[in-house]
Structure 1
Amino acid sequence: MTQLSTLPAPGTYRVTGSGHRPSAFAVSELATASFAAVGVQLARLVAALNLEPSAPEITVDHRLASLWYGWSFRPDGWEMPDAWDPIAGDYEAADGWIKLHTNLPHHRAAALQVLDCAPKRDAVAKALAGWQSDALETAIVAQGGVAAAMRSRADWAAHPHGRAVVSSPLIAWAGPRRVTLRDRPEATAKRPLAGLRVLDLTRVLAGPVSTRTLAGFGAEILRIDPPGWDEPGVIPDISLGKRCAYLDLKQAADLDRLKTLMAEADVLIHGYRPGALKRLGLDRATRDQIAPNRIEVTLNAYGWQGPWSTRRGFDSLVQMSSGIAAAGRDWAGNKKPTPLPVQALDHATGYLMAAAALSALATAASEEAVTDAKLSLARTAELLAALAKTAHGVEITAAKTKDFTPKAEASDWGPGHRLRPALKVGQARMHWPSPACQLGTHPPAWQELPD
Structure 2
Amino acid sequence: MPPQSTTTISAPVAASMLAEIWGALDGPQAALSGVRLEGGGALPSVFAVSDLAQASVAAAGLAVAELAASGGALPALACDRRLASMWFSSSLRGQGWAPPPLWDSVAGDYRSADGWIRLHTNAPHHRAAALQVLGLDVQQASREQVAEAVARWNAGELETAIVGNQGCAAEMRSQSQWAGHPQGQAVAAEPLVAHRAFDAGWRRTVPADPVRPLAGVRVLDLTRVLAGPTATRFLAAFGAEVLRIDPASWNEPGVVPEMTLGKRCAHLDLRQPEGRSALEQLLAQADVLVHGYRSQALEDLGLGAARRRQLNPALVDVALDAYGWSGPWAGRRGFDSLVQMSSGIADAGMRLLGRDKPTPLPVQALDHATGYLMAASALRGLARRQQAGQGCEYRLSLARTGQLLAAHLPQGAEPAFAAEQAGDVDAAEENTVWGPARRLRAPLSITGIPMRWDLPASPLRSAPAQWR
Deviation at 1:43, TM superposition (A): 2.0
Aligned pair partner of 2:196 in 160, 174, 188: 174
CA contact (8 A) 1:67 1:398 kept: no
CA contact (8 A) 2:24 2:192 kept: no
Alignment of 1:214 onto 2:235: yes
Matches within 5 A, 1:203-242: 203-242=224-263
Aligned pair partner of 1:153 in 175, 182, 201: 175
CA contact (8 A) 1:212 1:239 kept: yes
Alignment of 1:35 onto 2:57: yes
Deviation at 1:294, TM superposition (A): 0.7
CA spacing shift, 1:397–1:279, aligned 2, 3 Å: farther
Residue matched to 2:73: 54
Residue matched to 1:316: 337
Residue matched to 1:327: 348
Aligned pair partner of 1:199 in 216, 220, 231: 220
Range with bigger deviation, 401-410 or 98-107: 401-410
Residue matched to 1:401: 422
Q: Which amino acid aligns with 1:422?
A: P
Q: Deviations over 1:1-41 (max 9, x none)?
A: x8715998974411222221010100100111001111222
Residue matched to 1:445: 466
If asked which structure has higher relative contact order (CA below 8 Å, sep 6+), I would say 1
Q: Deviations over 1:176-204 (max 9, x none)?
A: 3335168576x322111111000000000
CA spacing shift, 1:6–1:366, aligned 2, 3 Å: closer
Q: Deviations over 1:367-397 (max 9, x none)?
A: 1644310000000000001123248764137
CA spacing shift, 1:215–1:254, aligned 2, 3 Å: same
Alignment of 1:123 onto 2:145: yes
What is the identity percentage for the equivalent residue pairs of Structure 1 and Structure 2? 53
Q: Deviations over 1:228-270 (max 9, x none)?
A: 4211110110100000001111111121111101101000110
Deviation at 1:123, TM superposition (A): 0.8
Q: Which amino acid aligns with 2:89?
A: G
Runs of 4 or more, structure 1, over 4 Å off, are: 5-12, 181-185, 390-393
Alpha-carbon separation, structure 2, partners of 1:115 and 1:133: 12
Q: TM-score of the superposition, structure 1-length normalised?
A: 0.94
Q: Deviations over 1:248-297 (max 9, x none)?
A: 11111121111101101000110122211111111122111111111110
Q: Secondary structure at the match of 1:428?
A: coil
Structure 1: runs of 5+ lacking an equivalent: none
Structure 2: runs of 5+ lacking an equivalent: 1-22
CA contact (8 A) 2:284 2:311 kept: yes
CA spacing shift, 1:192–1:415, aligned 2, 3 Å: same
Q: TM-score of the superposition, structure 2-length normalised?
A: 0.91
Alignment of 1:358 onto 2:379: yes
Q: Secondary structure at the match of 1:330?
A: helix
Residue matched to 2:406: 385
Alpha-carbon separation, structure 1, partners of 2:428 and 2:305: 44
Alpha-carbon separation, structure 1, partners of 2:258 and 2:41: 23
Q: Secondary structure at the match of 1:366?
A: helix
Residue matched to 2:120: 101
Residue matched to 2:187: 165
Residue matched to 1:429: 450
Matches within 5 A, 1:333-352: 333-352=354-373
Aligned pair partner of 1:89 in 108, 116, 133: 108
> Between Structure 1 and Structure 2, how many residues are aligned?
442
Alpha-carbon separation, structure 2, partners of 1:377 and 1:397: 29
Alpha-carbon separation, structure 2, partners of 1:125 and 1:221: 42
CA contact (8 A) 1:363 1:369 kept: yes
Q: Which amino acid aligns with 1:91?
A: Y
Alpha-carbon separation, structure 1, partners of 2:60 and 2:412: 20
CA spacing shift, 1:386–1:368, aligned 2, 3 Å: farther
Q: Which amino acid aligns with 1:313?
A: G
Q: Secondary structure at the match of 2:401?
A: helix
CA contact (8 A) 1:184 1:196 kept: no
Q: Secondary structure at the match of 2:152?
A: coil
